[in-house]
Amino acid sequence: MAAPKSLKGHLLLDSGQLSGSFFARTVILICQHDEDGAFGLVLNRPTGTRVGDALVADLPEFLKEQPLYLGGPVQPTAMSFLHSDLYLPDANVMPNLSLGHSLDELMELGESFSATKRIKLFAGYSGWAPGQLEDELRRKAWLTHPASLDLVFAEDTSTLWARILRQKGWRYQLLAQIPDDPTLN
């Protein structure tokens, strides 16, 4: 059996089949995907709190003011972050984008100056056991889309799911326009 194609560095979008679940209308960046399973972060679920209100650490002001996102339903107290800059030679998700989990690394990033640095912080994550994501893809629960730094760090996350669906073309226009509550249609 051929090894599954890795979706690392791609986005997963709710295909419209996940309404009523945590993953309804989510956009997830797949950060790791191999024979051991998959790890991703939901890009469009802000918690409504700032990092400084949720993380008990002496963080630089720049980091304290960042919005905190809910990366997924698994381990909601686990912290992850995505960071980007113009040139990251050791990027581990896609070109110029890295995933981190270490508070020390986050502090170092927060204290270093770069006008082009971007950071997005998450509580929790989305995870799949070996073969689980592939099975969900076969059942057409997810759509895939190439990730870009602009999409990962989009400021208006409330419309991110619909915006990406519209980018995918005419076949997804109707799905992008369906209201959260279909009875309002």
Helical ranges in 23-178 per DSSP H = 51-54, 61-64, 103-111, 132-138, 149-152, 160-167, 173-177
Q: What is the mean pLDDT of residues 39-66?
A: 92
- When pLDDT is cut at 50, 70 and 90, the band that residue 180 belongs to is low
**What CATH class does 10-184 carry?**
alpha beta
**Tens digits of residue pLDDT in 54-72:** 887 888 888 999 999 999 9
**Tens digits of residue pLDDT in 141-173:** 999 999 999 999 999 999 999 999 999 888 888
Cα separation, 103 vs 79, in Å, equals 8
Q: What is the mean pLDDT of residues 124-152?
A: 96
- When pLDDT is cut at 50, 70 and 90, the band that residue 184 belongs to is low
Q: What is the mean pLDDT of residues 81-97?
A: 91
What is the structure's pLDDT at 183? 53
Residue 116, pLDDT > 60, answer yes
Please provide residue 171's backbone torsions phi and psi, each rounded to the nearest 5 degrees.
-65, -20
Rg of the chain over Cα atoms, rounded to whole angstroms, equals 17
